[in-house]
């Protein structure tokens, strides 16, 4: 019997980035197959190729033994492949029924079709225990229910192969268990499931077979029953991670940041941060490791003043940070980042283009972005001292080796790496006591990566407290004194740098708590 | 394809010129279809509005008002707000000016009276823009719809106020009484008799001053920097510590104040009384000016003079060529807004291709 | 005060006759905006079709040719707006304002060119659209109240009035009970979901704009051919913006939007009837203040002080495929 899906030598490159290199493995019919890996391992790219969003540069995909050339998602659907994305493709103010019928109404008049579709949906719901009312409005449904609607859509379109992309990121434990029940029923009907995840417990709980990817390549394909979390963690992460950059002896000073019971719930009541507790001292780098989407971004937003927490205590240099206690009547975080900055908290944001720079401004104008209210940058008439800023900028461009070293160029025209150098230089220049750094080397070339790492280590040696969020374990290994691993909105474990163990970190990243 | 990806010489000069030429080309085509010669029309227009000293005086007089409405829309646009309410804000500013005049023009000397009028115009204009600004910042009400509504409310409200309270007893004209001579802005024909009996007054210099202040504030002050950041990227502006709610409200209030100041030139420079619908479309011309001048002080000045010339020259043109009534220039205004505003990137792909080759 | 003193009968009939201008335009705006394109250019389309329909009706002495010509022009303008919004991905608000201002000027100029009557078209006289007189009207005309009801309120209006009222349930049906309407609404709420489901967002939005052009033209034709018999400069007098307001007031839903149109028609009728009438307690209300009421009500609605008015989620944002 042919496998449901077989990848043969799939390769895909985006510019200089090799997203998939010679990926080959097969998935048996009726199997629940896990696809595991860190950020950037290539799992999403591979599934996008399977679903027709991209065309592979080379290699073949075989469905049921036949080579198929999948040009578009519509063709993929026609071939029986369904995908449940991380961001749902649902129209919120319409009913489940309307969402399912969209694009496949079966005629101009809806009335004639509705009854038939509704009946079929109820039948599918009953068979797979989806527990969804076809006449419910999407906006009224919980996130878990909305996900089931997405699954319902795929089944209605006769999907035989169902791809789920990090489905449990938005679910509670209860909802996850329900989802797995549905997947099992799906499997009983002879359908095939591909589950993209980084959570190792889920792999062990539900999958039959697993493929582990790393750096665009397949590093392991095993039967779930014959492997263990440790082995998976090792394969997921396991590569010699060297740290060759020099640093001063670890000698942390006074606590600069104290986080106690920090919680964040969004408007739908979903818990994004779950009672975080940690302390950051002067002269140390604490790295928050973990796959993205586990609350790290939200944590950075709160610590930089861009967002208010739901509850918790934040102390900076021993004093409570403004806005951290919601009872003090602060409605929103409007204008708060300025206060934080003036207190001495620097921020290199994760999303450089969205938050950190103004693309249309010149390089020079970006060198004081966020610091425009600083009195030191004003001349005697209260206007911006452009002469002083130009001098500063020239020095900055040289010290940080920004290329091209043209202060009047629109920063949008610089490469990602050079943009990042400007942002880091700017924050460093303000000499903060605490520096928040989010994914500092995302989209940055290799040479610049090392320069940025050396820069951060030098700051740490000079006594700055640095909180680093990074999905790149090499970066964490190179920079951290202590590592906190986050998963599911909480800290699953803490390690000192000399306790660095890829298996252990992999387990923590995969949701296994240190116990 | 955004303007951020193209060099400055392209976005700051080539594109705007191409857009303007497109609008004028369409206009020329329409004039031709109306049976008139576009080149001859242009000759008459330029002759009337620029080459003739009295005509030039009128051109600059109109331009003085347009600078203020153009600045009003430009300032709001820099913050990412589309203020369509300049028409109503200038109208309401006229009321503020009038109240100051009616209260003080018998008692105060001109050097206190004129500032009082200016203050009244600015305050009332600011108020009329503050309300939509507040609703946008605090309630999320779309500024475009609210400012359009406030234009209509102003029209009705002013109608009511003028008719009920301001018409002097025995008069028929829907206008207030004439202000005293102390309220007259000194006219430039006192120093340049060649200008003839034209209303060009020191308001023109106020307009230039306003442009300079605007230019300095937007490019050299931290506040102007923050306004521009807000207009370009709201997320990053939040990162940079901008208080977004407050900034929206303040920018709208200042925008309204600028629009209100447009009334100073129109009323205190020319008619010396408040009349129904005295604004006559200046607020909407401000929109065309802001788009055509790309919110740059020099661009605003040039666009204002251009529109002043269109109005003045258009008037004389309509006398010589009955097939080109003054309403033609309202049509041209719409074309300019279309090409310089909604279709501003029409020629961008062509330019990028040419730039890559060269 | 009697029924007659309050002119209530006249007010109600006037409301019915004022409403179609707004109804056609509001239904047009509804199609555009539910698909995700802001249509601020209703005013311009109304003016253009008002002029063209009056001009052609006069020239051919046939009102139906006038209506057809009005439709054609309005569709051209709507397609231009669509090009700006959908293909050029330009600022939809600016595009709409541009059309309004351009048409305000152009209609006058062209009218002046062809008819030399100060920017208006000649009176249509008899070449107007027919009124619908219900059978048996002459028999019941004298019965108190019922006569008025049958001959003046339900019957006796221009055919376009009936078209306008019939349009509302039709629009409702198309939007909510056809596949075209489903896809259109999806484009306005979540175009990425529509795209993923195989719907062409751009083509759907273009079609929505064309429909808006067609519907809006009837507003202009009604103004020029039915209500006045000629085109006059800027005769739309803000009807396009009022229609938008009715849409916001009606939460972008056909039936509530229709009620909003009725409300504004009512205020218009009241303003004329109450001019100079002494009301108990309040005295005379100046016409200008009554005129102001619809706009104030809109601001109140927008400020969220009445029930929350929620625009289609993806409105105003040009669609760019995410992959």
Residue B334, preceding peptide bond in cis (omega within 30° of 0): no
- What distance in Å separates the CA atoms of residue A265 and residue A263, rounded to the nearest whole number? 7
Beta bridge partners of A209: A33, A223
Lookup: tokens for C130: 């027919």
The per-residue pLDDT for C3 is 47
Q: Which residue of A has its CA nearest to B225?
A: A372
E strand or H helix that includes residue B258: helix B244-263
Greater pLDDT, C323 or A480: A480
Closest CA to C165 of C319, C310, C21, C9: C21
At residue C6, does pLDDT exceed 70?
A: no
Residue of C303, C316, C318 to mutate, interface with B, max B Cβ within 10 Å:
C303
Assign residue B296 the CATH number of its domain. 1.10.3470
At residue B216, does pLDDT exceed 80?
A: yes
Asked if residues A209 and A34 have their Cβ atoms less than 8 Å apart, the reply is: yes
Q: Do B229 and A361 touch (CB under 8 A)?
A: yes
At residue C108, does pLDDT exceed 70?
A: yes
B332 interaction partners in chain C (CB closer than 8 Å): 105
**CB neighbours of residue C59 within 10 Å:** 16
Lookup: tokens for A370: 């966020």
A406 interaction partners in chain B (CB closer than 8 Å): none
Asked if residues A259 and A277 have their Cβ atoms less than 8 Å apart, the reply is: yes
Among C84, C248, C302, select the one facing B135 at the smallest CB separation.
Answer: C302
C286 interaction partners in chain B (CB closer than 8 Å): 160, 163-164
Residue A91 at interface with chain C, using a CB cutoff of 8 Å: yes
Asked if the structure places residue B149 within a domain, the reply is yes
C89 burial via Cβ count (<10 Å: 0-12, 13-18, 19+): middle
Q: pLDDT tens, A467-484? A: 999 988 888 989 999 999
Greater pLDDT, B304 or A114: B304
Asked if the structure places residue B351 within a domain, the reply is no
Looking up tokens 């996130």, which residue turns up? Answer: A143
C241 interaction partners in chain B (CB closer than 8 Å): 148-149, 152
Query: How many contacts, defined by CB atoms under 8 Å, are there between A and C?
Result: 62
At residue A249, does pLDDT exceed 60?
A: yes
Greater pLDDT, A277 or A327: A277
Q: In what order do the strands lie in the sheet with A5-14?
A: A17-27, A5-14, A58-63, A66-68
- What distance in Å separates the CA atoms of residue C13 and residue C10, rounded to the nearest whole number? 5
Q: Do C286 and B163 touch (CB under 8 A)?
A: yes
B343 interaction partners in chain C (CB closer than 8 Å): 84, 88, 90, 95
Q: Do B149 and C245 touch (CB under 8 A)?
A: yes
A347 interaction partners in chain B (CB closer than 8 Å): 239
Question: pTM for the complete prediction?
Answer: 0.86
Given pLDDT bands bounded at 50, 70 and 90, which one contains residue B2?
Answer: low
Q: Do B344 and C292 touch (CB under 8 A)?
A: no
> How is B223-257 classified by DSSP, letter by letter?
HHHHHHHHHH-HHHHHHTT--HHHHHHHHHHHHHH
The per-residue pLDDT for C175 is 94
Given pLDDT bands bounded at 50, 70 and 90, which one contains residue A243?
Answer: low
At residue A21, does pLDDT exceed 60?
A: yes
Residue A50 at interface with chain C, using a CB cutoff of 8 Å: no
Give the pLDDT mean for A128-154.
89
Closest CA to C104 of A142, A501, B334: B334
Residue C248 at interface with chain B, using a CB cutoff of 8 Å: yes
Asked if residues B247 and B253 have their Cβ atoms less than 8 Å apart, the reply is: no
C292 interaction partners in chain B (CB closer than 8 Å): 152-153, 156-157, 160
Q: Do B235 and A355 touch (CB under 8 A)?
A: yes
The per-residue pLDDT for C251 is 87
Residues 6+ apart with CB under 8 A from B201: B61, B64, B185, B186, B187, B188, B265, B268, B269, B270
At residue A17, does pLDDT exceed 90?
A: no
Q: In what order do the strands lie in the sheet with A81-84?
A: A81-84, A161-165, A192-197, A32-36, A209-214, A217-223
Give the pLDDT mean for B316-326.
87
Neighbours of chain C (3+ CB pairs under 8 A): A, B
Q: Do A373 and B222 touch (CB under 8 A)?
A: yes
Q: In what order do the strands lie in the sheet with A311-316?
A: A271-281, A255-265, A311-316, A319-320
Asked if the structure places residue B174 within a domain, the reply is yes
The per-residue pLDDT for C1 is 45
The whole-chain average pLDDT of chain B stands at 91
At residue C180, does pLDDT exceed 80?
A: yes
Greater pLDDT, C237 or C188: C188
Lowest model confidence (mean pLDDT) among A423-427, B74-78, C140-144 = C140-144
C179 interaction partners in chain A (CB closer than 8 Å): 101, 105-110
Give the pLDDT mean for C212-237.
92
E strand or H helix that includes residue B329: helix B328-337
Lowest model confidence (mean pLDDT) among A74-88, A293-307, B259-273 = A74-88
Asked if residues B250 and B259 have their Cβ atoms less than 8 Å apart, the reply is: no
Closest CA to B66 of B313, B276, B220, B258: B258
Q: How close, in Å, is residue C265 to chain B by CA atoms? A: 16
Among B135, B140, B334, select the one facing C98 at the smallest CB separation.
Answer: B334
At residue A326, does pLDDT exceed 70?
A: no
Lowest model confidence (mean pLDDT) among B25-29, B311-315, C19-23, C129-133 = C129-133
**CB neighbours of residue A23 within 10 Å:** 24
Q: Do C323 and A53 touch (CB under 8 A)?
A: yes
**CB neighbours of residue A339 within 10 Å:** 15
Rg (CA), chain C: 20
Q: pLDDT tens, A190-211? A: 999 999 988 888 899 999 999 9
- What distance in Å separates the CA atoms of residue A214 and residue A199, rounded to the nearest whole number? 15
| Residue numbers of the domain that contains B112 | 58-320
The whole-chain average pLDDT of chain A stands at 88
- What distance in Å separates the CA atoms of residue B315 and residue A36, rounded to the nearest whole number? 75
- What distance in Å separates the CA atoms of residue A400 and residue A417, rounded to the nearest whole number? 11
Q: pLDDT tens, B83-102? A: 999 999 999 999 999 999 99
Percent of chain A whose pLDDT exceeds 70: 97
Q: pLDDT tens, B273-316? A: 999 999 999 999 999 999 989 999 999 999 999 999 999 998 88
C186 interaction partners in chain A (CB closer than 8 Å): 91, 94, 102
Distance of CA B29 to the CA centre of its chain: 27
Asked if residues A47 and A209 have their Cβ atoms less than 8 Å apart, the reply is: no
Q: Do A335 and B244 touch (CB under 8 A)?
A: yes
- What distance in Å separates the CA atoms of residue A5 and residue A194, rounded to the nearest whole number? 10
The per-residue pLDDT for A486 is 92
What SS3 state is found at B152? helix
- What distance in Å separates the CA atoms of residue A333 and residue A309, rounded to the nearest whole number? 10
The per-residue pLDDT for C30 is 95
Give the pLDDT mean for B35-43.
89
Q: Do A372 and B246 touch (CB under 8 A)?
A: no
Q: Do A102 and C193 touch (CB under 8 A)?
A: yes
- What distance in Å separates the CA atoms of residue A111 and residue A101, rounded to the nearest whole number? 12
Residue C192 at interface with chain A, using a CB cutoff of 8 Å: yes
Q: pLDDT tens, A409-420? A: 889 888 888 899
B330 interaction partners in chain C (CB closer than 8 Å): 101-102, 104-105, 108
At residue C157, does pLDDT exceed 90?
A: no
- What distance in Å separates the CA atoms of residue B108 and residue B101, rounded to the nearest whole number? 9
Lookup: tokens for A203: 């792999």
Closest CA to B128 of B228, B293, B223, B263: B263
Asked if the structure places residue B305 within a domain, the reply is yes
Q: pLDDT tens, A164-180? A: 998 887 777 778 888 99
E strand or H helix that includes residue A259: strand A255-265
Give the pLDDT mean for A209-218.
91
- Alpha helix ranges (H) inside C190-280: 191-196, 201-221, 239-249, 254-274
Q: Do A108 and C190 touch (CB under 8 A)?
A: no
Among A358, A378, A410, select the one facing B233 at the smallest CB separation.
Answer: A358
Among B239, B245, B246, select the one facing A355 at the smallest CB separation.
Answer: B239
At residue B65, does pLDDT exceed 70?
A: yes
Given pLDDT bands bounded at 50, 70 and 90, which one contains residue C111?
Answer: very high
**CB neighbours of residue B319 within 10 Å:** 13
Phi/psi at C276 (5° precision):
85, 5
Give the pLDDT mean for C38-47.
94
Q: Do C199 and A102 touch (CB under 8 A)?
A: yes
Residue C93 at interface with chain B, using a CB cutoff of 8 Å: yes
Domains of chain A plus CATH, in order, are 5-237 (3.40.50.300), 243-344+433-515 (3.40.50.300), 353-431 (no CATH)
Among B152, B338, B346, select the one facing C238 at the smallest CB separation.
Answer: B152
Q: Do B221 and A361 touch (CB under 8 A)?
A: no
The per-residue pLDDT for B4 is 55
B335 interaction partners in chain C (CB closer than 8 Å): 98, 102
Asked if residues C183 and A103 have their Cβ atoms less than 8 Å apart, the reply is: yes
Annotated domain spans of chain C: 19-128+136-302
Residue C182 at interface with chain A, using a CB cutoff of 8 Å: yes
Given pLDDT bands bounded at 50, 70 and 90, which one contains residue A323?
Answer: confident
What angle separates helix B203-220 from helix B297-320, to the nearest 10 degrees?
Answer: 150
Among A73, A98, A106, select the one facing C196 at the smallest CB separation.
Answer: A73
> How is A209-240 classified by DSSP, letter by letter?
EEEEEETTEEEEEEEGGG--HHHHHHHHH-S-
Given pLDDT bands bounded at 50, 70 and 90, which one contains residue B161?
Answer: very high
C276 burial via Cβ count (<10 Å: 0-12, 13-18, 19+): exposed
A351 burial via Cβ count (<10 Å: 0-12, 13-18, 19+): middle
Overall domain count for chain B: 1
Q: CA A322, A323, A325 angle in degrees (round to 5)?
A: 105
Give the pLDDT mean for B236-246.
95
- What distance in Å separates the CA atoms of residue A232 and residue A291, rounded to the nearest whole number? 15
């Amino acid at each position: 019997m042919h496998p449901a899906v077989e990848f043969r030598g799939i390769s895909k490159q985006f510019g200089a980035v090799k997203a998939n290199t010679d990926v080959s493995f097969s998935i048996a019919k009726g199997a629940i197959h896990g696809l595991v890996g860190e950020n950037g391992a290539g799992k999403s790219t591979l599934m996008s190729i399977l679903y027709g969003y991209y065309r592979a540069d080379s290699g073949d995909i075989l469905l049921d033994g036949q080579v198929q050339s999948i040009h578009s998602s519509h063709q993929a659907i026609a071939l029986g492949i369904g995908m449940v994305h991380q961001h749902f493709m649902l129209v919120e103010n319409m009913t489940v029924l309307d969402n399912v019928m969209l694009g496949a109404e079966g005629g101009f008049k809806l009335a004639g079709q509705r009854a038939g579709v509704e009946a079929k949906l109820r039948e599918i719901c009953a068979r797979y225990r989806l527990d969804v009312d076809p006449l419910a409005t999407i906006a009224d449904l919980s996130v878990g229910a909305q996900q089931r609607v997405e699954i319902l859509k795929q089944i209605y379109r006769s999907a035989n192969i169902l791809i789920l992309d990090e489905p449990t990121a938005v679910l509670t434990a209860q909802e996850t268990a329900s989802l797995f029940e549905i997947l099992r029923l799906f499997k009983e009907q002879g359908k095939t499931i591909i589950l993209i995840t980084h959570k190792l417990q889920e792999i062990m709980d539900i999958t039959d077979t697993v493929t582990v990817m790393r750096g665009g390549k397949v590093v392991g394909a095993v039967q779930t029953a014959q492997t263990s979390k440790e082995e998976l963690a090792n394969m997921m992460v396991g590569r010699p991670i060297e740290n060759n950059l020099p640093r001063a002896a670890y000698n942390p000073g006074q606590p600069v940041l104290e986080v106690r019971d920090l919680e964040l719930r969004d408007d739908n009541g979903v818990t994004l941060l779950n009672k975080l507790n940690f302390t950051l001292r002067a002269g140390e780098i604490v790295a928050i490791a973990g796959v993205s989407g586990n609350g790290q971004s939200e944590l950075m937003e709160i610590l930089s003043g861009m967002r208010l927490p739901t509850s918790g205590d934040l102390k900076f240099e021993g004093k409570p940070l403004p806005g951290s206690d919601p009872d003090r009547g602060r409605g929103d975080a409007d204008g708060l980042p300025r206060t934080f900055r003036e207190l001495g908290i620097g921020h290199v944001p994760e999303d450089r283009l969205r938050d950190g720079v103004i693309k249309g401004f010149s390089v020079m104008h970006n060198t004081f972005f966020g610091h425009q209210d600083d009195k030191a940058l004003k001349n005697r008439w209260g206007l911006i001292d452009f002469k002083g800023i130009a001098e500063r900028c020239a020095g900055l461009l040289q010290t940080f080796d920004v290329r091209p070293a043209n202060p009047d160029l629109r920063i949008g025209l610089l490469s990602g790496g050079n943009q990042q150098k400007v942002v880091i230089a700017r924050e460093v220049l303000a000499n903060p006591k605490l520096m928040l750094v989010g994914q500092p080397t995302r989209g940055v070339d290799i040479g610049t990566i090392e320069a940025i790492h050396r820069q951060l280590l030098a700051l740490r040696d000079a006594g700055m407290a640095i909180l680093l969020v990074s999905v790149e374990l090499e970066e964490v290994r190179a920079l951290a004194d202590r590592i906190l691993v986050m998963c599911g909105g909480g800290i699953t474990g803490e390690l000192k740098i000399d306790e660095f163990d890829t298996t252990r970190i992999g387990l923590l990243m995969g949701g296994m708590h240190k116990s | 394809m955004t303007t951020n990806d193209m060099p400055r010489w392209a976005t700051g000069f080539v594109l705007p010129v191409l857009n303007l030429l497109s609008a004028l080309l369409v206009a020329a085509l329409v004039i031709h279809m109306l049976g008139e010669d576009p080149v001859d029309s242009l000759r008459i227009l330029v002759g009337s509005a620029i080459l003739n000293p009295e005509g030039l005086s009128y051109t600059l007089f109109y331009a003085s008002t347009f600078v203020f409405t153009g600045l009003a829309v430009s300032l709001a646009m820099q913050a990412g707000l589309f203020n369509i309410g300049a028409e109503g804000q200038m109208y309401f500013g006229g009321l503020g000016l009038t109240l100051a005049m009616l209260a003080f023009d018998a008692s105060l000397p001109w050097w206190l009276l004129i500032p009082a009028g200016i203050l009244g115009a600015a305050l009332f204009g600011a108020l009329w823009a503050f309300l939509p600004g507040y609703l946008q910042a605090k309630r999320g009400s779309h500024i475009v719809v609210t400012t359009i509504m406030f234009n209509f409310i102003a029209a009705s409200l002013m109608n009511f106020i003028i008719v009920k309270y301001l018409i002097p007893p025995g008069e028929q004209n829907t206008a207030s009484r004439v202000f005293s001579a102390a309220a007259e802005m000194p006219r430039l024909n006192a120093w340049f008799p060649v200008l003839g009996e034209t209303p060009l007054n020191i308001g023109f210099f106020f307009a230039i001053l306003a442009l300079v202040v605007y230019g300095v504030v937007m490019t050299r002050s931290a506040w102007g920097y923050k306004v521009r950041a807000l207009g370009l990227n709201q997320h990053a502006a939040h990162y940079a510590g901008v208080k977004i709610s407050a900034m929206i409200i303040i920018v709208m209030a200042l925008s309204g104040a600028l629009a209100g100041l447009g009334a100073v030139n129109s009323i205190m420079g020319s008619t010396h009384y408040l009349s129904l619908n005295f604004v006559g479309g200046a607020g909407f011309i401000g929109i065309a000016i802001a788009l055509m001048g790309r919110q740059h002080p020099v661009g605003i000045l040039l666009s204002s003079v251009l529109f002043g010339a269109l109005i003045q020259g258009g008037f004389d043109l309509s006398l010589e060529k009955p097939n080109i009534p003054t309403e033609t220039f309202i049509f041209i205004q719409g074309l300019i807004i279309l090409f310089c505003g909604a279709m501003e990137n029409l020629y961008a792909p062509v330019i990028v291709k040419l730039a890559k080759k060269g | 005060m009697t029924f007659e003193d309050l002119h209530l009968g006249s007010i109600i009939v006037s409301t019915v006759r004022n409403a179609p201008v707004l109804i056609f335009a509001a239904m047009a705006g509804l199609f555009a905006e539910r698909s995700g394109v802001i249509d601020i250019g209703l005013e311009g389309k109304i003016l253009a079709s008002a002029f063209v329909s009056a001009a052609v009706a006069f020239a051919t002495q046939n009102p139906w040719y006038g209506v057809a010509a009005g439709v054609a022009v309005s569709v051209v303008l709507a397609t231009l707006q669509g090009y700006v919004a959908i293909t050029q991905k330009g600022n939809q608000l600016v595009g709409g304002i541009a059309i309004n201002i351009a048409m305000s000027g152009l209609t006058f100029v062209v009218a002046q060119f062809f008819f030399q009557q100060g920017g208006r078209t000649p009176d249509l006289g008899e070449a107007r659209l027919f009124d619908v007189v219900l059978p048996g009207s002459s028999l019941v005309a004298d019965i108190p109240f019922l006569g008025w009801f049958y001959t003046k309120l339900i019957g006796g209006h221009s055919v376009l009035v009936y078209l306008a009222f019939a349009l509302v349930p039709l629009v409702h049906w198309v939007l909510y009970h056809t596949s075209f309407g489903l896809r259109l609404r999806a484009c306005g709420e979540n175009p990425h979901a529509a795209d993923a489901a195989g719907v062409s967002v751009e083509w759907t939005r273009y079609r929505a704009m064309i429909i808006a052009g067609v519907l809006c033209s009837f507003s202009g034709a009604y103004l020029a051919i039915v209500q006045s018999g000629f085109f006059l400069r800027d005769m739309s007098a803000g009807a396009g913006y009022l229609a938008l307001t009715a849409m916001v007031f009606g939460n972008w839903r056909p039936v509530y939007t229709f009620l909003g149109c009725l409300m504004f028609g009512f205020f218009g009728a009241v303003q004329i009837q109450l001019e100079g009438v002494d009301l108990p307690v309040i005295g005379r209300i100046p016409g200008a203040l009554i005129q102001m009421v619809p706009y104030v009500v809109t601001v109140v609605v927008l400020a969220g002080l009445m029930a929350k008015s929620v625009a289609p989620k993806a409105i105003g944002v040009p669609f760019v495929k995410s992959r």
